[in-house]
């Protein structure tokens, strides 16, 4: 039916329905667009599209167990992921190039002294990267932040060298190198252990053979020892009998060595020696007393002698002139006697013996022989 054929009432009612349907369609469209936007936002947030990603790279000896998408850890937390694992060109100093990112606030923990550890994951050859955070305390020297970040969202500059120089950050091209501390993966270590065990197996077998021979020798020595113990049984019995005799007072070893008579004589000798020692002690005591008295008498005599010599010295000192006169008198008397000896009247009174004549005569020269 054409719209012009409708009555005004129907036209008004139809316009209201059209507006309601239009509003419903508009609301449904808005809700659908909002839900799609919310889904996209949640997906982007879950995948880290809005999270800061700081790029880093390192070099390894092997890329075994590493692949893009694997998580990167720091302090036990997942802080990023590996983005690229590629082999280096032929002739390069390194074998494998590994690029990874550190997201969000964890990028602020990476400083100029940070390193990367490559650790094993399980027994199937898996490995993962763990970033060591930098020491910003200054204990290990002056360090610098790897990136200058604004509000944990935008990277402004990156560290160019260890001296603290920064250059502008270029997304997609700029990245910072971190030194890798790579240990051999678990499978390589197991292969090396198996190889060493295989090489050491002949020595182990030789050692087991030696141990077997030692055990055989030990068993043989044990059998011989049992035989010796069986043979030593009578010896032990005899020793027990002898020791029982030694414990008997009447058959002790002392009585065997020292008979009763000799023992009595030794006791008498010891008693006599004891009495002699007592007498000698008394004699020594008396001699000591007498020596003490003699010493006291000698001291008194020495004191008296000292007094006499002192008195004599005083007498000599007081009679110095007398001694000089006597000495002069003796000298004059000697001169007088010598003068009397030379006087002609008294010379005969002081005769002296002539010197003895020589017994050898005068030697005459021998007559020379005539020719």
Yes or no: say if 115 and 132 are a contact pair by the CB < 8 Å rule: yes
The count of C-alpha atoms lying within 13 angstroms of the C-alpha of 359, restricted to the half-sphere facing its C-beta, is 0
**Confidence (pLDDT) at 154:** 83
For the chain, the C-alpha Rg in angstroms (whole number) is 68
Dump pLDDT digits (tens) for 168-193.
998 888 899 999 888 766 666 677 78
- Higher-pLDDT residue of 84 and 296 is 84
- Higher-pLDDT residue of 31 and 363 is 31
DSSP assignment of 149-204 equals EETTTEEEEEE-STT--EEE--TTT--EE-EEEE---HHHHHHHHHHHHHHHHHHH
CA dihedral over 304, 309, 315, 318, signed as positive or negative: negative
Is pLDDT at 362 greater than 50 in this prediction? no
The H or E element that residue 43 is part of is helix 8-46
Is pLDDT at 251 greater than 60 in this prediction? no
Kindly indicate the confidence band of residue 287, based on its pLDDT and cuts at 50, 70 and 90.
confident
Mean pLDDT of the chain: 78
**Confidence (pLDDT) at 35:** 92
β-strands 77-87, 126-132: how paired? unpaired
- Higher-pLDDT residue of 49 and 31 is 31
Is pLDDT at 321 greater than 70 in this prediction? no
Is pLDDT at 235 greater than 70 in this prediction? yes
Yes or no: say if 103 and 54 are a contact pair by the CB < 8 Å rule: yes
- Higher-pLDDT residue of 78 and 14 is 78
- Higher-pLDDT residue of 310 and 224 is 224
Kindly indicate the confidence band of residue 361, based on its pLDDT and cuts at 50, 70 and 90.
very low
Kindly indicate the confidence band of residue 85, based on its pLDDT and cuts at 50, 70 and 90.
very high
Is pLDDT at 350 greater than 60 in this prediction? no
- Higher-pLDDT residue of 243 and 215 is 215
Least confident segment among 48-62, 175-189, 338-352: 338-352
Rounded Cα distance, 162 and 141, in Å: 11
Report percent pLDDT > 70 for the chain.
75
Rounded Cα distance, 51 and 55, in Å: 13
Kindly indicate the confidence band of residue 354, based on its pLDDT and cuts at 50, 70 and 90.
low
Question: Which of these, 135, 142, 144, lies nearest to 164 by C-alpha position?
Answer: 144
Average pLDDT over residues 247-270: 67
Distances (CA, A) of 56 to 6, 61, 257, 363: 75, 17, 101, 142
Least confident segment among 87-96, 198-207, 337-346: 337-346
Number of Cβ within 10 Å of residue 135's Cβ equals: 13
**Confidence (pLDDT) at 137:** 66
**Confidence (pLDDT) at 74:** 92
- Higher-pLDDT residue of 139 and 72 is 72
Q: DSSP secondary-structure letter at 74?
A: E
Dump pLDDT digits (tens) for 195-212.
888 888 788 888 888 888
Rounded Cα distance, 165 and 294, in Å: 111
pTM of the model: 0.43
- Residue 187: burial class (beta carbons within 10 Å; 0-12, 13-18, 19+): middle
**Confidence (pLDDT) at 368:** 47
The position carrying tokens 């790279």 is 57
- Higher-pLDDT residue of 289 and 101 is 101
Kindly indicate the confidence band of residue 357, based on its pLDDT and cuts at 50, 70 and 90.
low
Is pLDDT at 78 greater than 50 in this prediction? yes
The two tokens of residue 152 are 């944990």
What is the 3-state composition of the chain as percent helix, strand, coil, each rounded to the nearest 5?
55, 20, 25
Average pLDDT over residues 322-335: 74
Average pLDDT over residues 80-104: 90
Is pLDDT at 144 greater than 80 in this prediction? yes
Question: Which of these, 56, 209, 203, lies nearest to 130 by C-alpha position?
Answer: 56
């Amino acid at each position: 039916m054409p719209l012009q054929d409708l009555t005004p009432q129907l036209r008004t009612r139809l316009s209201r329905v059209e507006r309601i349907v239009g509003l419903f369609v508009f609301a449904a469209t808005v809700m659908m667009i909002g839900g799609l936007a919310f889904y996209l936002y949640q997906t982007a947030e879950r995948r880290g599209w809005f999270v800061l990603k700081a790029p880093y790279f390192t070099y390894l000896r092997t890329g075994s167990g590493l692949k893009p998408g694997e998580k990167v850890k720091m302090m036990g937390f997942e802080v990023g992921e590996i983005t690229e694992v590629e082999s280096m060109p032929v002739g390069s100093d390194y074998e494998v190039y590994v690029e990874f990112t550190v997201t969000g606030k964890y990028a602020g923990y990476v400083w100029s002294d940070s390193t990367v550890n490559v650790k094993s994951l399980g027994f199937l050859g898996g490995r993962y990267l763990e970033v060591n955070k930098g020491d910003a305390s200054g204990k290990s020297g002056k360090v610098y932040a790897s990136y200058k970040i604004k509000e944990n969202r935008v990277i402004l500059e990156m560290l160019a060298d260890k001296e603290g120089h920064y250059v502008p950050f270029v997304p997609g091209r700029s990245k910072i190198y971190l030194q890798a501390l790579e240990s051999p993966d678990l499978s390589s270590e197991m292969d090396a252990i198996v190889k060493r065990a295989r090489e050491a197996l002949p020595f182990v077998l030789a050692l087991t053979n030696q141990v077997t021979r030692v055990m055989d020798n030990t068993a043989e020595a044990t059998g011989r020892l049992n035989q010796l113990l069986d043979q030593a049984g009578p010896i032990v019995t005899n020793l027990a009998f002898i020791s029982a005799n030694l414990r008997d007072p009447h058959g002790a070893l002392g009585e065997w060595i020292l008979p009763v008579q000799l023992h009595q004589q030794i006791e008498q000798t010891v008693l006599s020696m004891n009495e002699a020692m007592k007498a000698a002690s008394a004699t020594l005591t008396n001699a000591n007393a007498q020596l003490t008295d003699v010493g006291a008498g000698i001291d008194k005599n020495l004191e008296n002698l000292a007094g006499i010599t002192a008195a004599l010295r005083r007498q000599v000192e007081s009679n110095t002139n007398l001694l000089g006169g006597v000495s002069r008198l003796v000298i004059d008397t000697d001169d007088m006697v010598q003068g009397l000896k030379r006087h002609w009247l008294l010379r005969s009174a002081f005769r002296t013996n002539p010197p003895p004549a020589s017994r050898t005569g005068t030697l005459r020269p021998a007559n020379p022989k005539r020719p």
